[in-house]
Amino acid sequence: MNAPADFEFDEGTLRFTGELTLARIGDLSQRLAALSDAPQTVDLGKIERIDTVGAWLIHRIVRDHDAKVVGVDEDVAHLLEQLGQADKPLKIRPDATPPFIRVLREIGDGTIAAASSLYGLLGFFGATLIGLWGLITHPRRFRFNAIARQFEVVGVKALGIVGLMSFLIGIVIAQQGAVQLRQFGAEVFAINLIGRITLRELGVLMTAIMVAGRSGSAFAAQLGSMKLAEEIDAMRTIGVSPMEALILPRVISTIILMPLLGFYASVIAIIGGGIFCWIDLSIPPITFIQRLQEVVPLTDLWVGLLKGPVFGLIVAISGCYQGMQVEGNAEEVGLRTTASVVQAIFLVIVLDAVFAVFFSSIGWI
């Protein structure tokens, strides 16, 4: 019992023995391919068991050499006949293209995809504005609960990590600033550095990056999985607009929360820097605050607060847009989630540069 599949070949007759099954087939297929002569008869009288894989090998010999099968009972004959019917050429995977052409094609596809993704994002932005207008004209369709829920997920639950990040950034700025300024004996200017850079730039920028990683990606993954499960199609057929039920609550809450989170981040960063100044530079908190008031113009606060909603909008719509683009399979959800974060961070940084130029040209230096 349970002998591996084997065969002898003499005078045009292939005589098989053992178990012709997937588990015991070993390298039988290669050995059969290496036969010197074409067999005329296949004798299965001595085999112990056969499954579809064994039967396939027999069928192959019969087909290729027009051989005759002997020593089979009705069941094996039936199995062979079944395999004969199932013998249809089949492609395993879509056709592959030559590497050179594939590289060219991928570069082309990548360029088109990048351009069309920005174009699509613009279209999606338009659709969001129209949806928003719809809400303004029909305020009763406003989904207060969904927005409150997003407030919690996007805002309240982010307080811890955004706070920790900002606190550490504040300390690092103060420390690095102090080290450099000490060379001129101007350590006290570290306070200018902390106050201005956090309120103007880093508070909201780092927050936007954090929110893109935390919430933008979550939007893309949630909407993407919902699309895969046909949940969004189901919503549409029931008459619920995915724009109103899913996208606008996320967009609105992120727009409102981003300046708040950015302001919070700036304050925590200033606290971190202040603590560093107190401990390392022996500047007492009172002095620190007084000096902050003197050196940080109010416009810095406005710059930070004005950028917040714009960054929030970008993060939310690129998350939602990429999520809604998911089609096909689970891998796509991952790709789109990555794309949403990359796109959001890229656009946020580009716009931050634009804002820097804009604000300095209107004199808010």
338 near another protein (CB under 8 A): no
Q: Which of 31, 78, 102, 236 binds another protein (CB under 8 A)?
A: 78
CA 142, distance to chain mean position in Å, is 30
Rounded Cα distance, 187 and 28, in Å: 81
Q: Which of 94, 99, 139, 185 binds another protein (CB under 8 A)?
A: 94
64 near another protein (CB under 8 A): no
252 near another protein (CB under 8 A): no
Give the SS3 label for residue 70: strand
The contacts of residue 13 (CB under 8 Å, 6+ apart) are 39, 40, 41, 42, 43
Q: Tell me which residue of 193, 221, 223, 211 sits closest to 255, measured CA to CA.
A: 211
Is residue 117 classed exposed, middle or buried when 0-12, 13-18 and 19+ CB atoms within 10 A define those classes?
A: middle
46 vs 138, beta carbon nearer another protein:
46
Options 26-34, 133-141, 250-258, 352-360: segment touching another protein (CB under 8 A): 26-34
Question: 286-299 as b/e, with b when 16 or more CB fall inside 10 Å?
Answer: eebeebbeebbeeb
35 near another protein (CB under 8 A): no
Residue type, 177: G
Rounded Cα distance, 83 and 349, in Å: 61
| Least distance in angstroms from the C-beta of 199 to another protein | 46
Q: Which of 12, 45, 284, 285 binds another protein (CB under 8 A)?
A: 45
Options 18-26, 125-133, 134-142, 315-323: segment touching another protein (CB under 8 A): 18-26
Q: Which of 34, 92, 101, 357 binds another protein (CB under 8 A)?
A: 92
| Least distance in angstroms from the C-beta of 102 to another protein | 17
Options 246-254, 272-280, 283-291, 325-333: segment touching another protein (CB under 8 A): 325-333
Q: Which of 10, 11, 89, 136 binds another protein (CB under 8 A)?
A: 89
34 near another protein (CB under 8 A): no
> Would you mind telling me the total number of residues written for the chain in this entry?
365
| Least distance in angstroms from the C-beta of 18 to another protein | 12
11 near another protein (CB under 8 A): no
Helix and strand counts by DSSP (H, E) for the chain = 15, 4
Options 87-95, 148-156, 279-287, 312-320: segment touching another protein (CB under 8 A): 87-95
What are residue 301's phi and psi, to 5 degrees? -65, -45
Residue type, 148: A
Going 281 to 287 to 292 to 295, the CA torsion angle's sign is negative
Q: Which of 42, 76, 270, 313 binds another protein (CB under 8 A)?
A: 76
Pairing of strands 13-20, 41-50: parallel
Q: Which of 4, 71, 120, 134 binds another protein (CB under 8 A)?
A: 71
347 near another protein (CB under 8 A): no
10 vs 75, beta carbon nearer another protein:
75
Rounded Cα distance, 66 and 72, in Å: 17
Pairing of strands 6-10, 13-20: antiparallel
Q: Which residues bind another protein (CB under 8 A)?
A: 21-23, 25-27, 29-30, 44-45, 47-53, 56-57, 60, 71-73, 75-76, 78-79, 82-83, 85-95, 327-331
